[in-house]
Structure 1
Amino acid sequence: MPTLPREDPHPSPAQPHTSRRMAESFGVDAHRYDQARPGYPDALVTRIIGGSPGTDVLDVGTGTGIAARQFQAAGCVTLGVEPDARMADFARARGLDVEVASFEAWRPAGRTFDTVIAAQSWHWVDPVAGAVKAAEVLRPGGRLAIFGHVYEPPAEVAEPFAAAYRRAAPDSPLNGQPARRPLDFYQAAYARIADQLRETGRFDDPEQWRFDWERSYTRDQWLALLPTTGGLTRLRPDQRAGILDAVGGAIDSVGGHFTMHYTTLAVTAPRVGTS
């Protein structure tokens, strides 16, 4: 991903699940978020459903329902849990059932599910409490699937972004990171999630999946996505404008468009036990 405080599973220095203001900042423009953020590979959705005992899905941190709508379209019945009421309202307006709460505070009221998913959202959940709760609401053989995108723009775009971000927010603790990070960094983060699931003793041995794909972005498309990321949602409008101007100029210099090489990583494991 671009080096900014967005969906890194393990950003430094703070644990992201403690940063509630940032976690609940994405609803500032829910419509833009829903339009600009990419969906998930169909092969991933199919594989998760195929490894689950049924079609009842709980979506943790559902946001505007990007992943939930994909599972719904594949024949699942979905329930979302979302801490931001603005995002929840947007998802409801598109036909999804959503309850407003953080996952840790959410009350299942005896309900259980065949699958619990967390699409680009698990880093906002306490990893230990979240894993235990997921196991508690899963039916026998039910599957937990945690997944998200890794995407690093080309250096010609990433480096001007990093420089502009440093200028716009010089005191941000999120500065000082390299303009681009290797895929190994993110794979190691998902491996740590797998280790955390093992340590609970409530899941069978986790599997790690990888899906590679590409998407082309025009200047306007990328500048629509950037303000939906955690590094920019809490900046002032003038700060965002300066960053977007710099990135727009960088994209213009490479012909007005670029190809993003995406990798979608997943950690998934069935709940142990038969009852």
Structure 2
Amino acid sequence: MPATEPPPRDISAEVRRKVGASFGIDPARYDRTRPPYPQALIDRIVAGSPGPDVLNVGCGTGIEARQFRTAGCAVLGVEPDARMADFARHDGLVVEVARFEEWDRRNRDFDAVVAGTAWHWVDPVAGAAAAARALRPGGRIALFWHVFELPAAVTETFAAIHRRLLPGSAFRMPASGRALDGYEGIFINSANGIRDSGGFGAVERWRFDWERYYTRDEWLDQMPTQGSLTQAPPEVVEQVLDGVGATIDDMGGGFTMPYSTVAVTAVRAAR
């Protein structure tokens, strides 16, 4: 999500369900446009877990699940959107359709519970408690997000059109500000949920910085997969893409995006 679009923090369970289940409108687009996670993050989680059994919460189309599978893990996905789950299964992943807070663990245990850019759609306290129940002692919870900093001109264009056409959106669209600042509440809420569950040791935060170049068409292809637009009327999406596309054209047709991938993580205490 862009600097102007931190996920909403104080949202009702109804909104959390509705928006969290909206990303399957076009799973193929989501899968091809959303970037994978830094290999250093995957390797650190695997090395810091007692075994290879990974539970991937909100696995979506399977982006991070495939990365953990390549790293030698046995991955089970839990995904609330049946369309996303079906897409992930086409690549051989095992996925169960459920919201994590309501998922039936059936006495299965795991060495890691991970969630990539998904935990803000999970109740942070109920989710952490469910993760603690699913983890073996010494198992790791790792919740991580891509945070990226759009060029100021793109941010301002997106924010202005979004506020004008979708004034009642749950997504706050400030015209400026550091992307990491917008996500700080998400990181804090997630860490507090882990602590409040009573099942984990000290909470750590890891950060991995990297960058990627986007052409105009590549960025416009990703934008409709973002939470601020997945439920927007098609004519609104079209106006947003037209405006942002014109801004990128004025910049020369592309830009380099700085990313920070941030993980909130802790180890399961002995039961």
TM-score normalised by structure 2 residue count: 0.95
State how far apart, in whole Å, the 2-side matches of 1:176 and 1:71 are: 33
1:249 maps to what in 2?
A: 246
Output the CA distance in 2 between the equivalents of 1:73 and 1:60: 18
- How big is the shift at 1:16? 6.8
1:15 Cα offset (Å): 4.8
Aligned partner of 2:117 in structure 1 is 120
8 Å contact from structure 1 (residues 17, 123) kept in 2: no
Counterpart secondary structure, 2:202: coil
Helix, strand or coil at the partner of 1:147: strand
CA–CA separation in structure 1 for the residues paired with 2:228 and 2:255? 21
Q: What is the CA-CA distance between 1:175 and the residue it aligns to? A: 4.7
- Percent identity reads 54
What amino acid is the match of 1:41?
Answer: P
Q: 1:155 to 1:218 in 2, by over 3 A?
A: same
Alignment match of 1:104 (pick from 97, 101, 104): 101
Equivalent positions of 1:83-232 (< 5 A) are 83-175=80-172, 177-232=174-229
Distance 1:134 1:17, change over 3 A: farther
CA contact (8 A) 1:155 1:180 kept: no
User: Do the aligned residues in 2 keep the contact of 1:145 with 1:267 (CA within 8 Å)?
Assistant: yes
2:243 is equivalent to residue 234 of structure 1: no
Cross-structure match for 1:2 = 2
Q: Which residue identity lines up with residue 223 of structure 2 in the other structure?
A: L
Residue 59 of structure 1 pairs with residue 45 of structure 2: no
Distance 1:158 1:182 in 2: 11
Post-superposition shift, 1:19?
2.3
Report how many aligned residue pairs link the two structures. 271
Larger mean Cα displacement after TM superposition, 186-195 or 150-159: 186-195
Identify if the C-alpha distance between structure 1 residues 71 and 176 changes in structure 2 by more than 3 Å, giving closer, same or farther.
closer
What is the aligned counterpart of 1:40 among 19, 22, 37? Answer: 37
Deviation, 1:169, is: 1.8
Aligned with residue 269 of structure 1, among 255, 266, 271: 266
- Residue 24 (structure 2) aligned to one of 24, 27, 33: 27
Q: Give, in angstroms, the shift of residue 173 of structure 1.
A: 4.4
Deviation string for 1:229-250 (max 9, x for gaps)? Answer: 0111101111100000000000
Q: CA deviation at 1:144?
A: 0.5
Once residues 223 and 202 of structure 1 are traced to their aligned partners in structure 2, the CA distance between those partners, rounded to angstroms, is 42
C-alpha displacement at 1:70, in angstroms? 0.2
Unaligned runs of 5+ in 2: none
**Hey, what's the Cα distance between the residues in 1 that align with 2:118 and 2:173?**
24
Q: Work out whether residues 210 and 259 of structure 2, in 8 Å CA contact, stay in contact via their aligned partners in 1.
A: yes
How far apart are 1:224 and its partner, in Å?
0.5
SS class of match (1:258)? strand
Tell me, which stretches of 5 or more residues in structure 1 are unaligned? none
CA offset at residue 110 of structure 1?
Answer: 1.0
Contact 1:2 1:180 in 2 (8 A): no
CA distance in 2, matches of 1:162, 1:33: 22
Across the aligned residues of Structure 1 and Structure 2, the Cα RMSD in angstroms comes to 1.7
